[in-house]
Amino acid sequence: MAVPLAEELCRLIEEREPRLEVVRDHTLVPPMRGPADWSGDPDFRRSPEQQAAYDAMVDSADVLFGIPDVDAAALARTVAANPRLRWVMTTAAGGGSTVQAAGLDRAALDRIVFTTSAGVHGGTLAEFAVFAVLAGAKGLPRLLADQGERRWPDRWEMRQLDEMTVLVVGLGGIGAECARRFDALGARVWGTSRSGRAVEGVERLIAPDELVEVAPHVDALVVTLPGTAQTRHLIGEDVLAAVRPGAVVTNVGRGSVIDEQALLRALDDGRIAFAGLDVFEQEPLPAASPLWAHPRVLVSPHTAALSAKEEERIARRFAENATRFLDGRELRAVVDTVEFY
């Protein structure tokens, strides 16, 4: 165990895959401050003896649950010191970025399989996406403003989700969960896909290079993509200029996928009626960012995925993948070591 994990969940992994020896020492990892706090208490410090013991533990493993100290430099040190290492599961869905930051050579990337928790957070993030689109459709900013002023205006029409077309940008684990929920609520669901594989609840598949073409025909953009060189600012000026006026945007993928300056311009001129954002280009979101005070923006501090069940779900995913690993089968959620997602 390279990161903190409750003893009962360590035992759960052992019960679900008895062939796996789970080596852990809870005194060598920082205590969690809340659910899924994999980095743990920042005030935690190891003594020199404890650091040597921790290094020896991770350097002797064939498999690591978590990136050591959730730190790219620590991962690079462990990979160099441990020729036995064959598989690392990152506890973050976007753990590929930390693997990339470690600067591992191709031999190491070919030797070690890296997997993520991608898909584990799909349900919670999909709920936030539905919440954000409904907040836009029902005019949450207007309702709050009127309530704050104790103003009873003339009745006005709210939009209905079952009359909207929702474009899910990215139909991976999170996107598929979003599509399923929006479809269940009666929306017409389109989705972008590079593979072209059918996804439950998705009426129409869109190639990523068709975004500008289809943008005028959708009422909401739900972004679920990982942050890579290929996805950076995919939702940029061209897409936001093409959207149907009054569209809603939400992002539960990575902040780099949306060009925030272009989004602000689209919000200011009314093309985008509302944006519910859980992720941002820079995190924490700087206090000077105009997004904080924008009247049609809801800021969530990258917390929509957090759940009291997250650690258990990730432990169960690890145990499932451990069985696959020991049986010589393909693992789930393998990091692409070219694009690192």
pLDDT at 279 over 90: yes
Annotated catalytic residue, options 121, 254, 296, 313: 254
Is 243 within 8 Å of 271 (Cβ atoms)?
A: yes
Annotated catalytic residue, options 26, 84, 283, 329: 283
Active site residue 283: yes
Active site residue 254: yes
Q: Which of 153, 181, 142, 175 is nearest to 274 (CA)?
A: 142
* Least confident among 90-104, 250-264, 273-287: 90-104
Annotated catalytic residue, options 302, 316, 324, 332: 302
Where does residue 288 rank: exposed (0-12), middle (13-18), buried (19+ CB within 10 A)?
exposed
Total residue length of the chain: 341
Active site residue 339: no
Supply the angle between the helices 48-59 and 72-81 in degrees, to the nearest 10: 60
Q: Which of 279, 298, 162, 283 is nearest to 223 (CA)?
A: 279
272: β partners: 247
- pLDDT above 70 covers a percentage of the chain that reads 100
Q: Which helix (H) or strand (E) holds 298?
A: strand 297-299
pLDDT digits (tens, 9 = 90+) for 113-164: 999 998 898 999 999 999 999 999 999 999 999 999 999 999 999 999 999 9
Confidence tier at 308 by pLDDT (50, 70, 90): confident
Tokens of residue 196, six digits: 């072209």
User: Order of strands across the sheet with 165-169?
Assistant: 204-206, 188-192, 165-169, 220-223, 247-251, 272-277, 297-299
Question: pTM of the prediction?
Answer: 0.88
Instruction: Judge if the upstream peptide bond of residue 284 is cis by omega within 30 degrees of 0.
Output: yes
Instruction: Put residue 139 in one of left, alpha, beta given phi > 0 → left and psi -120 to 50 → alpha.
Output: left
Instruction: Please compute the mean of the pLDDT values over residues 194-218 and round it to a whole number.
Output: 94
